[in-house]
Each structure stands twice: as C-alpha cells, then as structure tokens.
Amino acid sequence: MHPLRELRRFTTAERWVHRSTAALMGACLATAAVLYVGPLAVLVGRRSLVAQVHLVAGIALPLPLLLGLLSRAVRHDAHRLGRFLPVDSVWLRARDRRTADLPVGKFNAGQKLNAALSLGAILLMLGTGLTMRYANQWPLTVRTGSTFVHDWVAFFLTVLVLGHVRLALRDPQARAGLRTGAVPVGWALREHRGWAEEELGSGGGAVALDPNRAGRDTEVDQQL
C-alpha cells in the first residue's frame, strides 16, 4: 500500500444517496418484520402506525436515487453500474478474486448485480405495495398476485440486503470509503485496479493521506 496517498472514491452526493437508501430500506424491512412476524407484532404493537411508517418509507425509497441523479457523479456511477464488461465475466468465474489481479473498474460484477437486483426489487415492491394499499381500485386477481409477489420479493430482498451487509462487514476499507469518501491506494489497486489506475493516471482523485490513518490502514491491509 502506498503510505502517503489515497483516492477519492465517492462524493458527498454519492454517499448521501447510499446512506438515505440504506436508512429507508432498513425502515421498510424492520416494519415489514413487525407486520408479518407474530411475536414481533405482539411485542411492538401499534400496528396501524407501523403500517403507515412502512408505506411512507416504501414510497420514499426511490427518492434518494432520483434526487441523486441531479449530481453528475451519481449519474456517472449509474452508468458504470449498468455496464457489464468482459472483465466482469472473468471476475465472476475467478476462484480467488483478490489474487487474480484483474483490471476491475470502480464497481465489480458482484456490486453491479446487487445494484440491478436491488433496483428491480425496489420497483416491484413499490408497484405491488401501492396496488395493495389501494386494493379497491383493482380486480381480485391483481390484488392476489400483487400480495404474492410483494411477499416473495420482500423475502428475496431481505436475503440480498443481509448478504450485502455481511460482505461489507468483511471489508473495512470499503466501509471507510463510504464513510469518508476516500480509500487507500493499496486497497484500490488490489480490489479495483482498473479504476485505480485510471484515477492515478488522471491525477484528479489522489489526495493526501493522514499519517495516523495510513498506519491503521496498513495494519488492516496486512490482516486482510
């Protein structure tokens, strides 16, 4: 790891979109658990309030991304997440991705798939949720189908979020990048070499690294 430099990975707008989406997603999943799990429903009570919070959080869930698209950096990220490159196919097939030395871009294939699946699930949940909320406006078959899809997509989304959190907990450098906006050069070159070399070549993303933080990051790199 380079001892004196780090790369700017996320702008304030990018971090805001991620945090806001995570908070709303957490509210949706937590309230859904209270509404559908009997013991939790008894413990929490106030079902009508929980249902209202669930509805508001669900409707608001796409808003951070929509507002974030006003930022050029967020639009650039969305473009990158939507492009599946040849290196992504190699990354998915690699047994040990950390030693494969692949020129991975800013987002690896797993992150791209997670973003696509999450976005699709959010849109499905929003559509079916609104159908359930205004059930009298729809035929019985539509209401029944919406309930079925909503429940199963919610289960899938819960598994997806838990997997995402589990992987994040295993990578403190990635979490630091979302918290501070910058990552050590060593981590960037190891995990996202294509993006790191692009940033280092342009010189626009390199910033000074606090010496105390550099020591902590070096220790983490050694542990990993």
- Averaged over successive runs of 10 residues, the pLDDT of the chain (224 residues) comes to 71 94 94 87 85 93 94 94 90 78 89 93 92 86 90 92 92 90 90 89 55 40 36
Picking from 99, 98, 24, the residue whose alpha carbon sits closest to that of residue 65 is 24
Q: Report the pLDDT value the prediction gives residue 214, as an integer from 0 to 100.
A: 41
Q: What tokens were used for 142? A: 């539509």
β-strands 5-8, 182-184 pairing? antiparallel
| pTM for the predicted model, two decimal places | 0.80
Coil, helix or strand at residue 5 = strand
Buried b / exposed e across 120-149, counting CB within 10 Å, b at 16+?
ebbebbbebbbbbeeeeeeeeeebeebeeb
Beta-carbon contacts of 176 under 8 Å, excluding residues fewer than 6 positions away, are 182, 183, 217
Measured CA to CA, the distance from residue 32 to residue 101 in angstroms comes to: 41
24-64 pLDDT, tens per residue? Answer: 999 999 999 998 888 888 888 888 899 999 999 999 999 99
77-89 pLDDT, tens per residue? Answer: 999 999 999 999 9
Q: What tokens were used for 210? A: 């606090």
